[in-house]
Structure 1
């Protein structure tokens, strides 16, 4: 697990970027605190910062070249089946100088070319320079666990794990209005966009080759839509057996390391299943959870402690006060090099900071909700497609829900908020309903929030981009729910959930592994019918039923809760000055010229009203953007 960067020059002007290579590498030090080095050829330079996990000796330091000196690699990630690939390569006559997965990956590419990507089990972003051909090859893992950004102009090609590294090369920083619109709706920016024009994210499951000043990208993997074309013929019992077999194998792969491995434990189904299986492989498995002293509504540590006791793990609970959140806020925001406003990033940042004191690698339950139908929006979608008297009356009573107090701050106001969103979405097409529930804005609120002189710019491109994101949502029947899960795997998972975990863990030099994102497991899950995932009174049905006998009964009775922070209370109290006197102060917003001052005022008034709805999430998005804008623009 590391940070990578590099430059491929096309002419003498491009070669001047080499002088920035060391600074670009140093910008990634938090991702790789154990070692740093660079490789420089006439036309190319590669930089690497290392977090040592496999082959922690000096021999595993990067960049690494093959024995001829023709190929050089920088690699971020882990290849879990590297020992099997190493043996296959050795049988072909390859001799190795290290015990690292990096060298195996390099020779896999040299030997098999792009086909090597199909053989990899793991998560990765890497670049290989071919000195003889003067080309660069880049690739990113199937689901986008590891980030990879790039920039191309007539003089040079640049790449890096993070934006903070790319900007060290002196690129022009112009805000991408398509990305800004996405951000204002979603609170994150989906690939391939970044907040700056001409800087892009390589899409998950894609590779790119840069040769003669041109870039060619290709997709090497897609989640198979077997649920539509070749649905599983396994009985429910056979599905359970297969799921258990695949998850056990995935956990075993993700425990391979030359350093201690622990686990995040929220007490939800996903992390509990991961801990249950990992505890069978690791004696005295270390587990970690985080909660809140000051707000019991958001505290879930009780359930985590039940699971930890049940599986006899060595458990540590971190309880946070509002002061702890505030004390870590600036450090977290300062690590963001493009706007990212998932507020749960803060507790993940703090949890990673604490966990790093005990272990260097942690497994998590990320990825399960998206493909199994674990979110509230999935259950709401199920209810709408099923129909019935309950859904009918919730839809009819929309005027009532709108007039009741709505927020995420307590049980009843959150329930009224959910009922209102359900009723609003029920009257929309599957595509528009998905878009409403994926974000925090309604109808034309994104355009209204932009300054009038920006509203006509890039609007057509944004709508086209939105259409591409929603293109897989076609069916209105129950099996169309699998299209919702598929879209979440393309949008929410790689651009929100995995970005959050990668940024916040790597900011603290911690590697996080996701056993639910083993591609063999994902392929299996997407062969299953909706009836195996969501039912009348259950979500993640097959997952829950498969492990019901070994998990504590208490966690089956708990309500679904995200990894949230008490954001509304916080914005109304501790951060109120930041809203009124600093980042959203009227004069600052007017002089900035990005947002409509009157719309910002309306949002602030909504936040402090008796019916704040989701205004706190939108205000938080604006605060994060403003903090970022002051630092970078």
Structure 2
């Protein structure tokens, strides 16, 4: 696990940008605290920050060259089947000088070029430089576990693991207002777009070939999903459970390879408990970690985590936090975010990663299961929509009542009203509009009205519609849950969940591995009918049923909690001055020339009212953007 960056200059103007390669590499120091090195020649610069996991010796440092000095690689990630791949290459007479997966990847690419990607089981973002042909080959893993940003213009091609590295090259930082408009709805920016017009994200399952002033992008992997075939799958539920257990255990076992301390996140939920159970079978000394919230007992799941740890006999560590502990990290998190990203659960992941890193360099997690097997509240709601009965019709008919009643996430009754109101509104919409509304915190009109009137006409609404249509392309007029899950895998998973985990864990040099996202597990999951994943009584049905014999009974039939943080309380107390006198002050809003202050003022009034609804999530999105804008944009003048 590392940080990578590089430049391919096409002319003398581009060549000048090579002077920034050292700063661009240094900007990734937290991703790779163990070693830094840079390669430079006339037209190319490659930088690498290393977090040593497999073969920690100096001989495995990067940038790494093959024996002929023709090919050079910088690589972020892990290839879990590298030993099998190495054995196959050795059978062809290919020799190795390290025990690293990096060298295996490099030599596999040399002999198979882009065809090597289909053989890789792991997560990765890498670049191979061919010094003879003067080309870059850049690729990203199937599901976007590892990030990769790039810039391509007439002078150069740039890439990096994080935006804070890319900006070191002095890129054009013109805001993409269409991306900002999307962000104000979702609280994150879907790929391939970023907050800057000049920067793009390489999409999951894609690669890029770069030669002088030419770039070709292609997809090498797509989730193999056919709705009709999945629903007609003849495999019995009993056989499907056994197959799933076999595939997931093999995935976990592959992800236990490390030459440094390895543990597992154990939240007390089903997913992390399953991963920990499988890991403990093959690693008897497994160390598990959980985070608890002393001041927020409703969201504290450490009791369940302890039950699992006791059953599995793991060495278990609980980090028990107060609201003050959480709040103490907010400024550090805001400062580390280098593109607006406002999933507030990142705060808990940041602290969990920070504390876990004191004991381990690698941690397994349960991420990905919710998106594949229907684990979210919204999935139950989608199922109800597609199987509407008298109860659902009654909720819809009472829409005016839900709209009139107070709504808030911070109380049990007000949260139920909030959920009923969203469900009632969703019933009236098309499949695509319903998905988009339930994915976000603000509607299109609400987000549009936040901009200054003169900006609204130039936002690129046609461009937004095109982007949205592409994101929702897999949703038919009459959707089923697998259609929803496929869209989640291509939107929510890479752009929200995996972004959150990668950014917050790598801020502390912690590698997080995700066994549910082994491609064999994912391919199998999307061959299953909906009823194997969700029914009226159970979400993530096959995950829960397959492991009932190894997990405590107390884990079952209880509400999904998630990593909630007390934003509303903070905004009304500790952060009130930051909001009213700084980030959302009239002075700063007018200085920016982006937002309509009268709309911002109304959001602030709602925040401090008795009926805040979901406004705290929107306020958090604004706080993140404003903090980011002050750091990355204040004083920046776009070129003429």
TM-score bracket, normalised by the shorter chain, equals: over 0.9
SS in 2 for 1:125: strand
Give 1:300 shift: 1.6
Q: Cα deviations across residues 203-243 of structure 1 (Å, max 9, x unaligned)?
A: 00000001121110000000011343454321111001100
Please report the RMSD computed on the Cα atoms of aligned residues, expressed in angstroms: 1.0
Give the match for residue 262 of structure 1.
263
Distance 1:232 1:206 in 2: 29
> Which among 455, 463, 466 is matched to residue 464 of structure 1?
466
Distance 2:370 2:31 in 1: 27
Give the match for residue 149 of structure 1.
149
Distance 1:213 1:229 in 2: 43
Give the match for residue 215 of structure 2.
215
Give the match for residue 103 of structure 1.
103
The question of 1:275 aligning with 2:276 is answered yes
SS in 2 for 1:139: strand
- 1:222-621 maps to which residues of 2 (within 5 A)? 222-229=222-229, 231-457=232-458, 458-476=460-478, 480-621=480-621
Distance 1:582 1:397 in 2: 41
Give 1:284 shift: 2.5
Give yes or no for contact 1:297–1:410 (8 Å, CA) kept in 2: no
Distance 1:451 1:619 in 2: 17
Q: Cα deviations across residues 105-129 of structure 1 (Å, max 9, x unaligned)?
A: 0010000111100000000000011
Q: Cα deviations across residues 429-471 of structure 1 (Å, max 9, x unaligned)?
A: 1100000000001241111011112112211101111111111
Distance 2:327 2:236 in 1: 51
Which consecutive residues of structure 2, in runs of 5 or more, have no partner in the other structure?
A: 634-640
Distance 2:152 2:425 in 1: 43
Give yes or no for contact 1:126–1:139 (8 Å, CA) kept in 2: yes
SS in 2 for 1:444: helix
Distance 1:100 1:228 in 2: 43
Give yes or no for contact 1:185–1:439 (8 Å, CA) kept in 2: yes
Give yes or no for contact 1:227–1:528 (8 Å, CA) kept in 2: no
Give yes or no for contact 1:267–1:555 (8 Å, CA) kept in 2: yes
Distance 2:608 2:299 in 1: 21
Give yes or no for contact 2:372–2:489 (8 Å, CA) kept in 1: yes
Q: Cα deviations across residues 83-126 of structure 1 (Å, max 9, x unaligned)?
A: 11111111112111111000100010000111100000000000
Q: Cα deviations across residues 31-50 of structure 1 (Å, max 9, x unaligned)?
A: 00000001112211100000
Distance 1:229 1:220 in 2: 22
Give the match for residue 169 of structure 1.
169
Give the match for residue 137 of structure 2.
137
Give the match for residue 93 of structure 1.
93
The TM-score, its normalising length taken from structure 2, stands at 0.97
Give the match for residue 637 of structure 2.
none
Distance 2:135 2:87 in 1: 28
Distance 1:89 1:488 in 2: 37
Give yes or no for contact 2:289–2:316 (8 Å, CA) kept in 1: yes
Distance 1:383 1:76 in 2: 42
Distance 1:443 1:356 in 2: 40
Distance 2:127 2:454 in 1: 41
Give yes or no for contact 2:430–2:477 (8 Å, CA) kept in 1: no
SS in 2 for 1:14: helix
Distance 2:152 2:447 in 1: 30
Distance 2:176 2:534 in 1: 38
Give 1:251 shift: 0.3
Distance 1:284 1:406 in 2: 46
Q: Cα deviations across residues 573-620 of structure 1 (Å, max 9, x unaligned)?
A: 111111111100112112211111111111111111111111000000
Give the match for residue 118 of structure 1.
118
Distance 1:406 1:271 in 2: 31
The question of 1:199 aligning with 2:199 is answered yes
Give 1:631 shift: 0.2
Distance 2:611 2:504 in 1: 32
Distance 2:116 2:609 in 1: 57
Which consecutive residues of structure 1, in runs of 5 or more, have no partner in the other structure?
A: none
Distance 1:475 1:537 in 2: 26
The question of 1:624 aligning with 2:624 is answered yes
SS in 2 for 1:550: coil
Query: Which moved further from structure 2: 20-29 or 85-94?
Result: 85-94
Give the match for residue 15 of structure 1.
15
SS in 2 for 1:288: strand
Q: Deviating runs (4+, > 3 A) in structure 1?
A: none
Give 1:562 shift: 1.7
Give the match for residue 64 of structure 1.
64
Q: Cα deviations across residues 372-417 of structure 1 (Å, max 9, x unaligned)?
A: 0110000000011111111111111111112222111132221111
SS in 1 for 2:628: helix
SS in 1 for 2:217: strand
Distance 2:464 2:535 in 1: 36
Q: How many residues align?
A: 631
SS in 1 for 2:282: coil
Query: Which moved further from structure 2: 488-497 or 169-178?
Result: 169-178
Distance 1:307 1:113 in 2: 45
Give 1:475 shift: 4.4
Give 1:292 shift: 1.2
SS in 1 for 2:128: strand
Distance 1:235 1:434 in 2: 30
Give the match for residue 638 of structure 2.
none
